[in-house]
Homo-oligomer: A and B are copies of this chain.
């Protein structure tokens, strides 16, 4: 069974909504168990148990939130070296485009890499003007269909990579599904 955790912090509810779409995307891959946890509920053992993790944060000053940072600094501290090789990705909502959502994703990926995760972005586009090359990003809430699709695509790709890398389900490799995918141009 493919096991995906969606871990998030949310102040306004925007990142929580993103998390729900990410979870929905992960569930679209067969034989996948998905759990959605806010940073307040999560324990280190939760992270240790799952094959792959999508982590979402509000963009606070261009970096993951202090609450989510505290989770990795303190709660996860003694699990460092126990999660090498898990698959990870990021998502973030900022107040506006250009507000640091990509950089917040990068900070999340930096933390995950520090813990030994393999991290990724998604080459696919979800509309003419939206992609998720370093994680799914929105300006404020994911209110339009494209923003929601970006979140779904992220969760789906995460579940594809864990299926391929952890469970040797080669048929889930995205290169075999090019007809479903939107490329730029």
- Which residues of A are in contact with B by a Cβ distance under 8 Å? 60-67, 69-70, 72-74, 80-82, 84-85, 87, 95-103, 106-107, 109-111, 113-123, 125, 127-137, 139-140, 150, 161, 164-165, 168, 173-175, 178, 183-185
Contacts and interface: CB of A to CB of B under 8 A. Distances in A.
Which secondary structure characterizes the binding site on chain A?
Answer: mixed
Given A113-B120, A120-B117, A73 B81 contact: no
A99 B131 contact: yes
Instruction: Tell me the number of copies of this protein.
Output: 4
B95 A63 contact: no
Contacts of A183: 81
A114 B95 CA distance: 12
A85 B102 CA distance: 21
Contacts of A106: 103, 110
Contact of A114 (B73, B133, B136): B133
A106 B145 CA distance: 29
A111 B73 CA distance: 18
Nearest to A71: B66
A107 B136 CA distance: 19
A106 B139 CA distance: 19
B116 A110 contact: no
Contacts of A119: 113, 118-120
Contact of A133 (B62, B109, B123, B127): B62
A140 B175 CA distance: 26
Contacts of A111: 61-63
A185 B63 CA distance: 20
Contacts of A116: 120-123
A90 to B, nearest CB: 11
B96 A113 contact: no
A65 B64 CA distance: 11
